[in-house]
Amino acid sequence: MFKESKKKLPTPATDTLLAHGTRFEGTIVAEANIRIDGHFQGDIYSTHTVVIGESAVVRSDIIARDVILAGKVFGSITTEERLTITPTGELYGNTTTPTLVISEGGILNGTSQMNQTTMNQAIEAESLTATEKSDDENQSSFSQDEEDSEATLQPEAG
């Protein structure tokens, strides 16, 4: 008597596509919608919507206005408006978003912060984190060099 209706999320128009069977490594910066159905490693910045398709495996930090996740993401997702994890979507990482929708079956294995973040704030935070990592690596390298030079200056006992 009643027909069961399955609601499908409206998918935004695709301006940039990384198709199934494609592998790409690098950084994507776009002022357009992006859809990834292949394998991607790197960072994604978009002022519009990023769609991670069911067949996609993404190792990336994503900063976008909206993200629709139907595949797998290993990394953090920061949105200005909404993160939607569909029944097949899997996020292994953290998210910061004002609106979080997880459909039954969707996976979020990480932490979520629900606050308003502008794109500029998210990009600045990402840049600071990268700078801190670089500084830590440089400091660690400097400390090791210092230890090595001290070891060479020590007179041998004898």
pLDDT tens-digit series, residues 13-27: 667 888 999 999 999
Q: Per DSSP, which regions of the chain are E strands?
A: 16-18, 23-30, 34-36, 39-52, 57-69, 72-74, 77-85, 90-92, 95-96, 99-102, 107-108, 112-113
Summarize the confidence of residues 142-153 as an average pLDDT: 48
Q: Is the pLDDT of residue 132 over 90?
A: no
CA distance 89 to 104: 10
Amino acid at 108: L
Minimum mean pLDDT range among 8-12, 132-136, 147-151: 147-151
> Would you say the pTM of this structure is higher than 0.75?
no
CA distance 75 to 43: 9
Tens digits of residue pLDDT in 28-51:
999 999 999 999 999 999 999 999
pLDDT mean across residues, the chain: 81
Q: Is the pLDDT of residue 150 over 60?
A: no
3-state helix, strand, coil in the chain (%, to 5): 20, 40, 35
pLDDT at res. 48: 95
pLDDT at res. 138: 52
